[in-house]
Amino acid sequence: MGVLNVTPDSFSDGGRYADLDAAVGHGVRLRDAGAHLIDIGGESTRPGAERIDAATEADRVLPVIRELTAAGVLVSVDTSRARVAEAALAAGAAVVNDVSGGLADPDMARVVRDAHCPWVLMHWRGHSREMRELATYTDVVAEVRAELAERIDAALAVGVAADRLIVDPGLGFAKTAAHNWELSARLPELLDLGYPLLFGASRKSYLGGLLTAPDGTPRPTAQREAATVATSVLAVAAGAWGVRVHDVRATADALAVWAATGRPRLAVPSHEKKPAQHDHEHEVRP
Task: Write down the least CB distance from residue 12 to ligand PMM, Å.
Answer: 5
Quick check: 258 binds ligand PMM (CB under 6 A)?
no
DSSP symbols for 25-75 = HHHHHHHHTT-S-EEEESS--STTPPP--HHHHHHHHHHHHHHHHHTT--E
Among residues 2, 5, 30, 128, which is the contact residue for ligand PMM, using CB under 6 A? 5
Contact of 102 with 121, CB cutoff 8 Å: yes
Of residues 184 through 223, those in contact with ligand PMM by CB under 6 A are: 198, 200
Catalytic residue, from 203, 204, 219, 224: name it.
204
99 touching ligand PMM, by CB under 6 A: yes
Residue 43 in the binding site for ligand PMM (CB under 6 A): no
With contacts defined by CB under 6 A, name the span among 4-12, 154-162, 219-227, 249-257 that binds ligand PMM. 4-12
If one asks whether residue 45 binds ligand PMM (CB under 6 A), the answer comes out as: yes
Q: How far is CA 218 from CA 27, 80, 208, 247, in A?
A: 29, 30, 5, 20
- Tell me the closest approach of the beta carbon of residue 171 to ligand PMM, in angstroms: 5
Q: Does 120 bind ligand PMM (CB under 6 A)?
A: yes
Q: Quote the CA–CA distance of 41 and 36 in Å, as a whole number.
A: 16
203/145 Cα distance (integer angstroms): 24
CA–CA distance, 204 with 211 (Å, rounded to integer): 12
Which CB sits closer to ligand PMM, 69 or 128?
Answer: 128
How many CA atoms lie less than 13 Å away from 239 in the CB half-sphere?
A: 24
204 an active-site residue?
A: yes
Phi, psi for residue 207 in degrees, rounded to 5: -70, -40
Catalytic residues: 204, 244
Positions touching ligand PMM (CB under 6 A) are 3, 5, 10-12, 41, 45-46, 78, 97, 99, 120, 122, 168, 170-171, 198, 200, 244
